């Protein structure tokens, strides 16, 4: 039975339909909604801008509710952090099935509160309630924002020819983390338990807040983007398209955690194309790339230089491990989703 469309709308629908329906135009909007751009930027006054982003979050079967709250804050905060800005405030809408217990409700809210404290974020509003039609607790939207100096942010449109490209943690972090939880029994039947547990621990790496702020502090960053749906290959394409540049990338330069290889092998998933919340793509001036990698490593975040930005925007390729040259593109279907929904049957 077909499960219909899954995940974000494609680029064509966004460009032809949604982007033409954005309400009244306003000259204060510096960075409007764009494919591959994680947050909007709005002029507040001559010196300051508002950087703001929103995300929905759904609970993952097999994961404790504490992790649901953790995901909600980190995933929302990551979209502001990749603009080179420290997230400061947020609102969230928590929608729960009517049968949700008081204990479950309290666990979720406590987890959101604790995670906000850890990241230095202040909760300033939102909506919480019980509604029929929801199968599990859902964050209808988390809106994260900061007010910063007008010259203190970057966007995915900032990559320039000559920049080097850095990837943190490797590809398919979210894919490996979630599927290793949902399909634990299948993996344990084929692979060592310690490797399966390492894959499950990747769920705590599904954030790029520290990655992005560390890179920005090191200096020389021109663009950042987290590799969510469509994975690393989709994220690279989005930076290249937004910046109107070309890219040459080598898969052999990627960090490849053995637990990521295991999960992708088990479920026949291309790791480069699979959802990868936690994997941060960074373009950096060449003289700063080594400094950025070292700064990340000091924070315990693995990172490597995987390619270069070039002037020819018609050349956007990744050399795969088998030597194939593959164009950078947003996959028509993220390979994570079929494996995810197969886990729920």
Residue 213's contacts (CB-CB under 8 Å, 6 or more residues apart) are 81, 84, 86
Full-model pTM = 0.94
Place of tokens 């490593």: 297
Question: How open is the CA angle 183-185-187, to the nearest 5 degrees?
Answer: 70
Place of tokens 């909600």: 72
Map out the domains of the chain with their CATH numbers. 11-149 (3.30.1330.10), 156-343 (3.90.650.10)
Q: Could you read off the pLDDT tens digit of each residue along the chain, which spans 345 residues? A: 455 667 778 778 888 999 999 999 999 999 999 888 889 999 999 999 999 999 999 888 888 999 999 999 999 999 999 999 999 999 999 999 999 999 999 999 999 999 999 999 999 999 999 999 999 999 999 999 999 999 999 999 999 999 999 999 999 999 999 999 999 999 999 999 999 999 999 999 999 999 999 999 999 999 999 999 999 999 999 999 999 999 999 999 999 999 999 999 999 999 999 999 999 999 999 999 999 999 999 999 999 999 999 999 999 999 999 999 999 999 988 999 989 888 776
Q: Are 184 and 60 in contact (CB under 8 A)?
A: no
Helix, strand, coil: what percent of the chain each, to 5? 40, 25, 35
Q: Are 278 and 174 in contact (CB under 8 A)?
A: yes
* Alpha carbon distance 216, 201 (integer Å): 26
């Amino acid at each position: 039975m077909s499960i219909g469309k899954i995940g974000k709308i494609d680029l064509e629908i966004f460009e032809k339909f949604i982007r033409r329906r954005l309400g009244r135009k306003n000259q204060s909007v510096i960075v409007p909604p764009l494919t591959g751009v994680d947050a909007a930027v709005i002029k507040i006054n001559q010196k300051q801008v508002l950087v703001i982003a929103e995300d929905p979050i759904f609970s993952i079967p097999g994961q404790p509710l504490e992790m649901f709250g953790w995901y909600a804050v980190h995933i929302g905060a990551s979209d502001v952090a990749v603009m080179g800005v420290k997230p400061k405030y947020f609102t969230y809408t928590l929608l729960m099935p009517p049968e949700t217990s008081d204990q479950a409700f309290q666990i979720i809210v406590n987890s959101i509160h604790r995670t906000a404290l850890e990241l230095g974020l202040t909760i300033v509003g939102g909506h919480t309630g019980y509604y029929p039609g929801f199968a599990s607790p859902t964050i209808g939207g988390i809106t994260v924002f900061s007010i910063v100096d007008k010259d203190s942010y970057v966007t995915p449109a900032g990559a320039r020819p000559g920049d080097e490209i850095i990837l943190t943690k490797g590809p398919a972090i979210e894919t490996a983390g979630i599927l290793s939880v949902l399909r634990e029994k299948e993996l344990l039947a084929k692979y060592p338990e310690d490797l399966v547990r390492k894959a499950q621990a990747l769920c705590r790496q599904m954030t790029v807040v520290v990655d992005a702020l560390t890179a920005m502090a090191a200096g020389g960053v021109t663009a950042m983007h987290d590799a969510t749906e469509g994975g690393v290959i989709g994220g690279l394409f989005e930076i290249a398209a937004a910046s109107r540049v070309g890219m040459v990338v080598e898969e052999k330069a990627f960090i490849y955690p053995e637990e990521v290889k295991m999960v992708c092998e088990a479920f026949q998933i291309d790791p480069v194309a699979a959802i990868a919340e936690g994997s941060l793509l960074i373009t950096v001036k060449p003289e700063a790339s080594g400094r950025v990698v070292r700064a990340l490593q000091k924070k315990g975040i693995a990172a490597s230089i995987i390619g270069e930005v070039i002037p020819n925007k018609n050349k956007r390729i990744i050399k795969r491990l088998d030597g194939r040259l593959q164009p950078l593109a947003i996959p028509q279907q993220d390979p994570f989703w079929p494996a995810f929904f197969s886990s729920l049957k």
